[in-house]
Amino acid sequence: MQYYADYKTKISSYAFGVIYPMYVRKVEKKGRTKEELDAVINWLTGYDNKGLQAQIDSGNDLEVFFTEAPLINPNAGKITGKICGVRVEEIDNPLTQKIRWLDKLVDELANGKAMEKILRS
């Protein structure tokens, strides 16, 4: 898909430290907490809180953020559904899929889904 080739180039160059506060605002606006957001990000990426904060402070883009992730959760493949009208499980580009997995998890958190369901446990 050409759309995703172009999209990958644009979105993966965004600094995680710029996107993270947007995620925080989104979930807090819906009554969830930064701690819940961090738990979701940690579950997906394997970062602990110290490693997550280091990524926020580093200025690393999303590509580096995911490349340096200690361990993408083996259950991440269970993340399904649509983001911007595209099913996340059908995205071919691994980096774009990881970014969209994160977007989907943040959406689920903001929409009030229970943590045990978000974390696929």
Instruction: State which residues form the domain around 93.
Output: 2-118
Tell me the pLDDT of the chain averaged across its residues.
Answer: 91
Q: What is the reported pLDDT for 31?
A: 97
pLDDT tens column, 16-46: 999 999 999 999 999 999 999 999 999 999 9
- Predicted confidence band of residue 3 (pLDDT cuts 50, 70, 90): very low
The predicted pLDDT at position 121 comes to 75
Query: Domain count of the chain?
Result: 1
> What is the C-alpha separation between 110 and 36, in angstroms, rounded?
10
**CATH (domain of 101):** 1.10.8.290
CA–CA dist 74, 70 (Å, integer): 12
| Both structure tokens of 2 | 């050409």
Looking at residue 84, what is its pLDDT? Answer: 84
